[in-house]
Amino acid sequence: MIRLALLGTLIAACAGTPPLATGADAQRAHVALADLQRGRTFLVQKCGGCHLTPLPNEHLAADWPKKLDEMSVRAKLDGNQRRAIEAYLVAMASR
């Protein structure tokens, strides 16, 4: 029983971690790797504070801008944070 609970916890923890952007992701998306990394950091800090951090593959790349429109006010994102998060989510959803 304890093993099953630990396994469930481990799977949930791994499933909720947004993937790290790589140089290949940045090149494919025509975005600087540092910008993608910054977007991931903002995503975890600003979105993960209220609910599970969204994963890029939860929506199509084309759907992320609208989703961010819906949440950016509640998350109190400034323009730079929103743009960085969008660049990260769109680039990583297109993997």
Half-sphere exposure of 62 (CA within 13 A, CB side): 0
Query: How far is C-alpha 19 from the chain's CA centre?
Result: 8
pLDDT at position 2 is: 61
Question: Burial code of 15-38, b = ≥16 C-beta within 10 A, e = fewer?
Answer: eeebeebeeebbeebebeeebbbb
Domain spans of the chain? 2-93
In one letter, which amino acid is 60? L
Q: Could you tell me the pTM of the whole model?
A: 0.82
Half-sphere exposure of 22 (CA within 13 A, CB side): 5
Q: List average pLDDT for each run of 10 residues in the chain, which is 95 residues long.
A: 48 71 97 98 93 96 96 94 98 92
